Chain A
């Protein structure tokens, strides 16, 4: 016979709040290596400049978002804009490791 856990009403709310808090704590941060040629390029994550082109590992937080945006821009070069889901980030890390972009020179 299954055991039924009976809790007083106040405890039930506390338990529910605890479960929700745990769900919210699940990690959404990834360590991602990004290298851009030329090394003078700027790297932007979600619209914010995070560094330059030479290889560096970034901590990228999805937060509540389903995708993140990584961009690279350099003077006299064509910029790159890419959107990634968590799955795509995981696939990239497991199959190829770093993200590596070579920006094309503008004609």
Chain B
């Protein structure tokens, strides 16, 4: 069937369709900068668990912050849904900044450290720099 579009117009339409398809198909990813403090504004060593992830998987992926200093964790997060839940929970560390035991849940983290985990539902359009504030039990 002959097209009523000229060749440049056909090409432009094809490019636009490809871009639209690519935009719809890809999962947006954002690198978040995560820090965790207590009420006295001191850094708290924490594990960062993203979007229903297994806590052991987060540990395996080294999703820890402030184990040795106050540098933030830069963590790429894929937004498979419009909102992603992020849990930041305290972990017990030894004098060398090594994690003594990885908690498997928020209550376990509280039992190990006496700190209550912080939680946030994050959107892809939220600021990249995130501060989590943990309270004492």
Q: Which residues of A contact B (CB under 8 A)?
A: 42, 44, 46-49, 63-69, 71, 73-79, 81, 83, 106
Contacts and interface: CB of A to CB of B under 8 A. Distances in A.
B112 interface: no
B130 A73 contact: no
A76 B131 CA distance: 18
Interface of B: 33, 35, 37, 39-41, 118, 120, 123, 125-127, 129-131, 133, 135-136
A79 B126 contact: no
Q: Is the interface of B mostly helix, strand, loop or mixed?
A: strand
B39 A71 contact: no
Nearest to B124: A66
A78 B127 contact: no
Contact of A78 (B40, B130, B135): B135
A68 B131 contact: no
